[in-house]
Structure 1
């Protein structure tokens, strides 16, 4: 079993019925598509740094005896997990898998809203965490902006019928 066949099985779980649908190679390798993904990767890297930074701040505070609410610990773990999942989606989308693009676009539009609503709940998070959530949301909005551009919506709206994978 090759790595790609293993990934295709995972894609079937994550992508559902459209897990085997790829976009046209010309759209996948188009300069504007590649440039959009270069920015998306950079922005996801910023998200990872924000997540790791939040964990570091929480650890420093906890080790110095300051109380760190359970909501902060849960949020830091969830954000890092989400960011890694979005990285997987970005990787598969940059390979032309339509399902991954759709998931990445959906979550990059939903997560900022959820994050900002949670940040607005008085007393749930300390001030530094609220600031981190606002920054997280702004970066995520940037990712969504690239994914919803006219070019990207066109590129991932066209399907290459000869490039579908047999996924069981």
Structure 2
């Protein structure tokens, strides 16, 4: 299993796939607490994504036509959330690339989601509301990952001079 994960890490992480941060930063209580909160926020994202699928299915079973963009959005949200869980799990193991991707996507996805939600008539009101809540939660994830402490724990490869600068 670890061989498969190493291959997946190599694809997702590129040339820095094997770079991990020091154990003392990962074991720090603030780091563990941040990842615990991020895990709960991602779990909320998963519930929201599953709820969107359930609403679409119920509407369809009631004879309401659910537009293709709604189905695509629902599937994409679930896929993104699973990917973010993977990044979070690998980041907790100390992989810089995973922390970096998680932090980046937690900043980009809300912007994209809100821009798409603003397109008039593309989604029904319940889906627009779901997208806004989804974005707000991801902004919370980004906030935790962008703290001074977390950036000190996960120094960019090549910036090892900051390694160990874990603020209490």
Corresponding residue of 1:45:
43
1:6 CA drift (Å): 2.0
Q: Is the 8 A contact 1:24 1:158 kept in 2?
A: no
Give the 3 Å change call, closer, same or farther, for CA 158–23 of structure 1 in structure 2: farther
Question: Which of 41, 65, 68 is the matching residue for 2:66?
Answer: 68
Instruction: Give deviations 1:83-134, integer Å, cap 9, x for gaps.
Output: 0000000000000000000000000000000000000000000000000000
Structure 2: gaps of 5 or more residues: 161-168
Aligned residues: 159
Instruction: Give deviations 1:63-100, integer Å, cap 9, x for gaps.
Output: 10011010000000000000000000000000000000
1:9 CA drift (Å): 1.1
- Residue 131 (structure 1) aligned with residue 123 (structure 2): no
1:158 CA drift (Å): 6.6
Structure 1: gaps of 5 or more residues: 162-168
Corresponding residue of 2:164:
none
Corresponding residue of 1:84:
82
Q: Is the 8 A contact 1:28 1:94 kept in 2?
A: yes
Q: Is the 8 A contact 1:86 1:104 kept in 2?
A: yes
Corresponding residue of 1:99:
97
Which aligned runs of 4 or more in structure 1 are off by greater than 3 angstroms? none
Corresponding residue of 2:152:
154
TM-score (norm 1): 0.92
Corresponding residue of 1:165:
none
Q: Provide the alpha-carbon RMSD of the alignment.
A: 1.3
Q: Of the two structures, which has the highest relative contact order with CA contacts closer than 8 Å and spacing of 6 or more?
A: 1
Q: Distance in 2 between matches of 1:157 and 1:32?
A: 16
